[in-house]
């Protein structure tokens, strides 16, 4: 499954169970910029809390 931004550009890739596979950095940057992200297949908004709950600590400690 692909995660896209408001312009339709692919930001990240996730598995069917919404486990982040690729685009960790791009997802973190988009979130820090306040971009709205969507599931490309359904158009539903992506709930970033689900990703940052598991990966957030590594993002916060990355320069």
pLDDT in tens, 4-54: 999 999 999 998 888 888 888 999 899 889 899 999 999 999 987 766 665
- pLDDT confidence band for 59 (50 / 70 / 90): very low
Q: What local confidence, expressed as pLDDT, does residue 43 receive? A: 95
As beta bridge partners, residue 12 has 3
Q: Is the per-residue pLDDT at 57 higher than 60?
A: no
Single pTM value for the model: 0.75
Rounded CA separation 40/45 (Å): 9
The answer to whether the CB of 25 falls within 8 A of the CB of 13 is no
Rounded CA separation 59/16 (Å): 23
């Amino acid at each position: 499954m692909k995660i896209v931004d408001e312009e339709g550009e692919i930001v990240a890739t996730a598995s069917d169970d919404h486990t982040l596979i690729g685009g960790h950095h791009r997802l973190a940057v988009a979130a820090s910029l306040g971009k709205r992200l969507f599931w490309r297949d359904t158009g539903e908004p992506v709930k970033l809390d689900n990703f940052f709950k598991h990966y957030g600590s590594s993002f916060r400690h990355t320069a």
